[in-house]
Chains A and B, each alone.
Chain A
Amino acid sequence: MLKRVHFPSSALPFLLVAPQIIITLVFFIWPAAQAIYQSFLIEDAFGLSTEFVWFENFQILFQDKQYLATFWRTLFFSAAVAILSMSIALILAAFADRVVRGATAYRTLMIWPYAVAPVLAGALWVFMFNPTLGIFPFLLDMVGLDWNHYLKGSHAMMLVIFAAAWKQIAYNFLFYLAAMQSIPRSVIEAAAIDGAGPVRRFKDLIFPLISPTTFFLLVINAVYAFFDTFGIIHAVTQGGPANSTTILVYKVFNDGFVGLDLGGSAAQSVILMFLVITMTVVQFRYVERKVEY
């Protein structure tokens, strides 16, 4: 017996989804296929001939100390960005959750940085931390700290972490606030009557109850730090000094378009592609079902 309603097939549904499919094919599938194909090629120094070399590009990469260093640097950068932006967002959301008056204005202001383009966010931080003109080096100088991210790799790394984390705070804040507000008020009140103060309530109740959101944001922030921070790094440090802020995406750009090692660059982007696929799978598998409830 037929359980579902069957309609006569027509071209209309295919026509309606066609634009989306075409966009996906042209801008996602085709370039991805190109990248995979290119990662199997090596060009000579003058770009006159190409040779099909199977996995040689990948072999070279995994033996390259610089590439491995970039890998670890990227992990450190992502972890730092995720932890910094998530913890600041969490604290702000915890306070915003308690605000009664002017809550809307406060929340709107909190969301603004998310609308700033990465390059502009980077530019903003470059100006604020410019060693000769910036306000922060001037203030730091007063307490005896010599800030110079043009020369010191650690300063440069800190700066791109700050800039990248700052931009992501708004996004994390929104999700955390929404999660906190979906906790029934009476549960919090019950804990207050049970004798838990605000800090204790946060630790014992709010934080465990929003853990699905924390997990979701962790994945989102990792993906953001891995892939969407190119603009910030390009505007702030260009990967320098001495590659100290070169993360994987930046190295793809640098090796490919500056160093013109197209095969190696393509191989790197293929590796990144598999990373992002893995993260997306993880996110769909674990985030969709709730962690704590």
Chain B
Amino acid sequence: MASITLKDLVKAYGDTEVLHHIDGQIEDGEFVVIVGPSGCGKSTLLRMVAGLETVTGGEIHIGDRVVNELEPADRDIAMVFQNYALYPHMSVRENMAYGLKIRKISKDEINRRVEEAADILEIRPYLERKPRQLSGGQRQRVAMGRAIVRDPQVFLFDEPLSNLDAKLRVQMRLEIRKLQQKLGVTSIYVTHDQVEAMTLGDRLMVLNGGYVEQFGTPIELYDRPETMFVAGFIGSPAMNFLPAEVANGVTTLSNGAQLGVAQGQGNVVLGVRPEHLEPQEDGAIEVQVQLMEQLGANTLLHGALKGTDTEMVVSLPGHVTAAPGTEMKFGAAPENMHFFAPDTQKRIE
């Protein structure tokens, strides 16, 4: 068990800097998810912790050691890869035992640990099979088994569920979470899927373009997004952004409607989540419905802010019917209205 500290971490390929001065503290036993769109540098960051990419600047600490110059083998980590990366010519048992065999652990001990891990993951019947004889989900379990038999200080997951079908992904997601809670091993998990990130992580690090946008618990990110990027990335469907102007504590929307809640001064962006918009008789936010999606548990209304072409989505609980062209009035609680500065994209308090 160990904590991980990233200090002023920089990664550059030649002159191109892809990760910019990343700081972060991951506590012992914590499950941290690094999430961001593809190309944001999340996998690179994970691979730097693993020792598969060199560190251009800054420091990585695992426990009380600086591991910058250590080989992956000496960092006491285990990694689960997106494509499982099982050794194709070895049986499941040999796959799981390989790391232990290299560490010259006795045969009995290896067998004990492999079988124990196989029981936890329910892959005992497949121990003598080759990876190609297994399904995607089973391979994923073997890859995790290979990680847990080693009893490492840190687990690293590089988009481990993205090759699985949707149903299996949900199931494996829960299992990974349970497993991590049971073993209490510090874990870093990389994904581009915000639902996976929200459900798995104790804390999320949102990366965008090589910068940390925000690092906090899922609820913090949902309730108080620090930047427009985080606000738009976390939550589904994504937050509505309405250009507005603030003067003397009054917010004026682009269609002239006025709200009594305001932050900042001058041009702002008002963010409201689709699920936080409530139908109100005297609601200031008027939406012209263009399209309706009924999902059973809730209904999504797609439309535009009345009199403008600012697109909006409203999520209402239960069944609602609204013909295209209908105009509806909505309001939202003050704590559910987020104000951002259009130039810096940062939250205004």
Contact = CB atoms under 8 A, between A and B. Distances in A.
A184 B83 contact: yes
A196 B73 CA distance: 7
Interface residues of B, number: 24
A292 interface: yes
A187 interface: yes
B211 interface: no
Interface string B111-136: 00000000000000000000010000
Nearest to B80: A190
Contacts of A69: none
Contacts of A152: none
A195 B88 contact: no
Contacts of B99: 193-195
B147 to A, nearest CB: 9
A232 B275 CA distance: 81
Contact of A194 (B73, B82, B83): B73
B83 A292 contact: no
B55 to A, nearest CB: 16
A192 interface: yes
Interface string B58-101: 00000000000001110001110111011111000000001100
Determine chain B's interface SS by DSSP, over half rule: loop
B150 interface: yes
Interface string A176-196: 000000001011011111111
Interface in A104-161: none
B81 A194 contact: no
A158 B83 CA distance: 48
Contacts of B79: 189-190, 193
Contacts of B73: 192-197
B89 A208 contact: yes
Contacts of B98: 191, 194, 196, 204
A194 B102 contact: yes
B89 A186 contact: no
A189 B85 contact: yes
Interface-centre pick from A189, A193, A200 (highest chain B CB count, 10 A): A193
Contacts of B102: 194-196, 200
B88 A209 contact: yes
Determine chain A's interface SS by DSSP, over half rule: helix
B117 to A, nearest CB: 14
B89 A193 contact: no
A293 interface: yes
Interface-centre pick from B73, B78, B86 (highest chain A CB count, 10 A): B73
A186 B88 contact: no
A100 B81 CA distance: 23
Interface of B: 50-52, 71-73, 77-79, 81-83, 85-89, 98-99, 102-103, 132, 146, 150
Given A191-B98, A196-B73, 5 more contacts: A193-B50, A193-B78, A205-B87, A208-B89, A292-B88
15 contacts: A184-B83, A184-B85, A187-B88, A189-B50, A189-B79, A190-B86, A191-B87, A192-B72, A193-B52, A195-B73, A195-B99, A197-B73, A204-B98, A205-B87, A208-B89
Closest 7 CB pairs of A and B: A194-B99, A186-B85, A195-B73, A190-B85, A195-B102, A186-B81, A193-B72
